[in-house]
Amino acid sequence: MRKVYHWEPNGANAQLLITLAEKGLAYESIFLDVLAGENHQPALTALNPGGELPVLVDNGHVFTQASYICEYLEEAYPKNPLMPVDAHGRWVVRGWLKYVDDYYASAMSDLAWEAGRAKVDPAALTAGAQSAPTPERQQVWREHRDPFPSDRLDMARDYVARGVQKLDDALENAPWLAGSTFGLADIALYAWTGYLPWAAPGAVTSNIAEWLERVGARDSVQLALQSGRADNAFAIAAPGPEHTRWG
């Protein structure tokens, strides 16, 4: 049996849940409430020591890191392809995924957190920092207790703005990010850009608004959104992925 451990269908959780739905792959959904620290419990850390979500268990094997899980699913289950067949087109798709993983996800996560910080009980953050299973994740939670320093927010806004520009440019002449067909790049970018109307409403361009609607109307996205508990998964945030450590 296939199992997916996930939180609200936003960010990396949405990336995996939408991909599974596009592939038509059935799974048992295990919802863990991140803001209640449920992903820090042994049931999950036994599978993924850092406690990050989502986690896939497929044929008894554990898979982490959404972008690589999605590529695994694409290779293990070729039906309903989500990547182009030519090497250059695949390089383009992987470039989008890497951009999300290197910069866009952590930057968007910071802006989403700032937008929703007031809704989170500070005690939950203290508890989360204590229960986080690794020093890395403890630090991430501690950093989320107080408002972010202005240079961190400036950097996040800058990276989101760059991502938005890339996205807008790509959508200027094509309906989807890899060209004529929907795929893993659209899914990864949607999973984080879904936050944009809430976290940085002024940044939404008409190309992006139309693409968000096109993606959001897909059956796979509708199905993935049903696996959450919040009214709007893109109006709730949790401490996100760590920033790339340059210096």
Partner 1 sequence: MSVELYFFQPLGTNSGRVFQALLEKGVDFVEHELSGRDFDHLQPEYLALNPKGQVPILVHDGAVLTEGMLINEYIDECFDGPPLRPEDPRARWTMRGWSRWAENDLGRCLMMINWNRVVPSFVGERSPKEMKHFIETRVPDPDRRRAWLSAFEQTTPPERLAESRRRVTAGAQRVEAHLREHRFVAGETFSLADIDLLNFCSFVIDWMPELVSAKDVPAWAEWRARMNERPAVKAMRARTNFDVPRPGRVPEAQDGPDNDAPAGQAG
Binding region for partner 1 (CB under 8 A)? 61, 63-65, 68-69, 71-72, 75-76, 87-88, 90-91, 94-95, 98, 101-103, 135-136, 139, 155, 158-159, 244-247
Helix, strand, coil content of the chain in percent (nearest 5) = 60, 5, 35
Q: Which of 68, 47, 52 is nearest to 241 (CA)?
A: 52
In the complex, least distance from residue 152 CB atom to partner 1, rounded to whole angstroms: 11
Give me the residue label for tokens 């953050």. 125
In the complex, least distance from residue 65 CB atom to partner 1, rounded to whole angstroms: 6
- Based on CB atoms, which residue is closest to partner 1, 139 or 181? 139
User: Chain centroid to CA 142: how far?
Assistant: 21
DSSP state at residue 133: S
In the complex, least distance from residue 114 CB atom to partner 1, rounded to whole angstroms: 19
Residue 36, Cβ neighbours under 10 Å: how many?
Answer: 14
Give me the residue label for tokens 């920033």. 243
- Based on CB atoms, which residue is closest to partner 1, 28 or 158? 158
Distance CA 213, CA 228 (A): 19
- Based on CB atoms, which residue is closest to partner 1, 44 or 212? 44
User: 244 φ, ψ to 5°?
Assistant: -60, 135
Give me the residue label for tokens 């959508």. 171
- Based on CB atoms, which residue is closest to partner 1, 79 or 88? 88
- Based on CB atoms, which residue is closest to partner 1, 5 or 211? 5
